[in-house]
């Protein structure tokens, strides 16, 4: 069976765009520095606990998103495999739960377009394995959580 993440399909896509007031080399560096990622990555109210970070093509980042919900600590395991890294231009990763073969993993392509005023347009495109999975993740808040993640990136860059 062919890998659904190898053929792009708009009905399985989520796109988030943010203009950041920083040059693209600085924005790109925030995505490739494990210490930086552990500070800004993830939705509001969650912190990152990194277990392994090998940020290179073929490398992986294993981490938990951790938060307090109804008085209890909850952990959300994540596994990212870096497929393509073009410095200051593009990152391509597969992102899923703890299992590297998670059938619900999705492909993420992040592009960094520097503008003449020194700002960077960051575009994050997610490709989900099925139309139904895309609808499901939108339903539980993936778009809002993605925007919160980009808010945290912008605040980290502005610090």
Other CB atoms within 10 Å distance of the CB of residue 69 = 9
Each residue's pLDDT tens digit, 127-142: 999 999 999 999 999 9
CATH architecture of the domain 4-158 equals 2-Layer Sandwich (3.30)
Return mean pLDDT, the chain. Answer: 95
> Sign of the C-alpha dihedral, residues 43, 102, 13, 54?
positive
DSSP state of 7: S
For 19, 47, 131, the CA distances from 65, given in Å and listed in that order, are 25, 6, 25
Segments in 17-130 forming alpha helices (H): 24-32, 34-40
Residue 142 in contact with residue 120, Cβ under 8 Å? no
Q: What confidence category does residue 2 fall into, taking pLDDT thresholds of 50, 70 and 90?
A: low
């Amino acid at each position: 069976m062919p890998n659904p993440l190898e053929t792009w399909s708009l009905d399985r896509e989520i796109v988030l765009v943010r203009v950041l007031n920083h040059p693209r080399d600085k924005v790109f560096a925030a995505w490739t520095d494990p210490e930086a990622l552990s500070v800004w990555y993830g939705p509001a109210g969650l912190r990152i606990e990194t277990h392994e970070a090998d940020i290179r093509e073929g490398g992986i980042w294993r981490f938990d998103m951790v938060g307090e919900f109804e008085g209890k600590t909850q952990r959300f395991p994540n596994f990212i495999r870096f497929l393509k890294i073009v410095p200051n231009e593009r990152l391509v990763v597969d992102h899923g739960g703890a299992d590297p073969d998670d059938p619900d993993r999705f492909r993420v392509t992040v592009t960094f377009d520097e503008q003449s005023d020194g700002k960077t347009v960051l575009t994050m495109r997610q490709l989900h394995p099925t139309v139904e999975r895309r609808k499901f993740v939108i339903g539980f808040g993936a778009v809002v959580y993605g925007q919160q993640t980009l808010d945290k990136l912008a605040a980290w860059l502005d610090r």
